Every structure is written in structure tokens, then in C-alpha cells.
């Protein structure tokens, strides 16, 4: 029987197709955020501010802007509305006498529990991947986030790659990394993208750590 060679598909390059896939995920996330926010009577920015205050505790407006990667005027405008709705209150910042910290009120805490669940639909989709696929995706995401941070496209996040405690590929076996904060080995699947114990490493250490991580991953 004669074999027929299938025609070569005229596909765009792999990096372009991956960018298209990520763009679709971004659109889905944006759509979900908009529809959930309007259900709660909030703008997406207001919902994100509630979520970050619920996760990280009291923060200054500048710290909120840095965490979300948006401008201070946008944060200030959203906080004014949140304060009018009695979801956020301003309290003295003991670190700076004339500055204020933003805190959730009791009503803000209740509402933030709902806004924090917004990315849940993505978590369910990620659950369709195997554990190995999830660990590979986590490493890939970390590399992409780092590249976007270096380009100045997104704010620096509190991920292992920029942490003073992170030592990549120093162990053999399934947990090759080391977290000096808890003094324990870490598997690829345990890498953190937003860690409360993160402490920024000096720039030179970040470069060295990143070179070792990226070249060995």
C-alpha cells in the first residue's frame, strides 16, 4: 500500500502561536474580571485593590500601585470610591508621620473574600494539566515574568528568582532548589511567584541567580 505524505501545515512560528494562546487567556481573564466586578458593583481596579489589601494587609497607596503595576492617580481615584463605599479606610502610617496606610473595613474584608476568588476559573483549567505539566508551566511563567520585568513591562513581583534566599540547582534529585528562609530544598513545583517572605536580592545576586536558574532549567 502506498503511503501518502501528509501536507506540511503552514503554521505560524511556535512563539507566535504561544503568544496567541496567552492572548486568548488574557482576554478570558479580563472578561471574567469585568463581569465579576460589575456583579459586585466595583470596577476591576477597585476589585484588584481589595484583593491586594486582603492578601498583603495594610499598604500605602504607592505600595498598592507598585503591586498592581498601575499609576498612583488611578489608585488614588479608586481608593476614594472605595472609602466612600466604606470598604477601605485610611489610617496613620507609623513608618512615615504624614503618610497614610490603606486598610480594609469589615465590609471590605467580606467583599474581598469574593473578589479574591476571581481567578478561580483559571485554577480549574490548570487542574486539567498533569503535575509535571504544571511544574513545567510554572518555570516557564517565571521566565516570562522575569523577561517582562527586565523590559519594564510589568512590576517586579515577589518571586523566588529575585529573592535573597533563593539558591537554584544546588541539590540533586526532585527538589534541586533551596529556600534559605525556611532552609529547605524546593521542587520546581514549589517555586513561588508572590511570596510573603520574599526579600529582594541585590542586583548582582539577582543576575547570578537568574543565569544559573535559566541556564539549568
Nearer to ligand SF4, 46 or 157 (CB): 157
- In the complex, the smallest distance separating the C-beta of residue 140 from ligand SF4, rounded to whole angstroms, is 17
Residue 52's closest CA among 99, 119, 151?
119
> What is the Cα gyration radius of the chain?
21
Cα dihedral 213/26/34/145 (nearest 10): 20
State the residues that interact with ligand SF4 by CB under 6 A.
Answer: 160, 163, 165-166, 179, 181, 192, 195, 197-198
Between 146 and 198, CB nearer to ligand SF4: 198
Query: Least distance to ligand SF4 from the beta carbon of 200, Å?
Result: 10
Q: How far apart are CA 54 and CA 108, in angstroms?
A: 9
Smallest separation, CB 81 to ligand SF4 (Å): 33
Which segments of 84-213 are extended strands (E)? 88-92, 100-104, 166-167, 177-179, 184-186
Q: Is 11 exposed, middle or buried (0-12, 13-18, 19+ CB in 10 A)?
A: exposed
User: Least CB distance from residue 181 to ligand SF4, whole Å?
Assistant: 4
> Which residue, 105 or 134, has its beta carbon nearer to ligand SF4?
134
Between residues 69 and 181, which has the closer beta carbon with respect to ligand SF4? 181
Closer to ligand SF4 by Cβ: residue 22 or 140: 140
Q: Which of 93, 82, 87, 86 is nearest to 59 (CA)?
A: 93
CB 192 to ligand SF4: min, Å: 4
* Beta carbon nearer to ligand SF4, 118 or 166: 166
Q: How far apart are CA 48 and CA 28, in angstroms?
A: 16
Strand order in the sheet with 177-179: 166-167, 177-179, 184-186
Residue 170 CB, nearest distance to ligand SF4 (Å)?
A: 12
Amino acid at each position: 500500500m502506498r503511503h501518502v505524505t501528509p501536507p506540511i501545515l503552514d503554521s505560524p512560528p511556535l512563539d507566535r502561536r504561544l503568544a496567541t494562546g496567552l492572548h486568548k487567556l488574557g482576554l478570558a481573564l479580563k472578561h471574567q474580571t469585568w463581569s465579576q466586578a460589575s456583579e459586585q458593583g466595583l470596577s476591576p481596579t477597585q476589585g484588584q485593590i481589595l484583593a491586594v489589601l486582603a492578601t498583603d494587609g495594610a499598604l500605602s497607596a504607592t505600595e498598592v500601585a507598585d503591586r498592581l503595576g498601575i499609576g498612583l492617580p488611578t489608585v488614588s481615584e479608586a481608593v476614594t470610591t472605595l472609602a466612600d463605599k466604606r470598604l477601605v479606610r485610611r489610617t496613620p502610617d507609623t513608618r512615615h508621620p504624614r503618610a497614610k496606610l490603606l486598610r480594609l473595613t469589615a465590609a471590605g474584608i467580606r467583599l474581598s473574600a469574593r473578589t479574591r476568588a476571581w481567578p478561580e476559573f483559571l485554577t480549574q483549567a490548570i487542574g486539567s494539566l498533569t503535575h509535571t505539566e504544571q511544574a513545567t508551566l510554572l518555570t516557564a511563567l517565571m521566565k516570562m515574568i522575569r523577561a517582562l520585568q527586565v523590559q519594564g513591562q510589568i512590576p517586579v513581583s515577589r518571586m523566588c528568582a529575585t529573592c535573597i534566599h533563593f539558591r537554584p540547582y544546588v541539590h540533586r534529585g526532585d527538589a534541586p532548589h533551596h529556600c534559605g528562609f525556611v532552609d529547605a530544598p524546593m521542587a520546581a513545583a514549589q517555586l513561588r511567584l508572590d511570596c510573603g517572605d520574599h526579600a529582594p536580592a541585590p542586583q548582582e545576586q539577582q543576575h547570578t541567580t537568574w543565569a544559573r536558574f535559566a541556564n539549568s532549567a
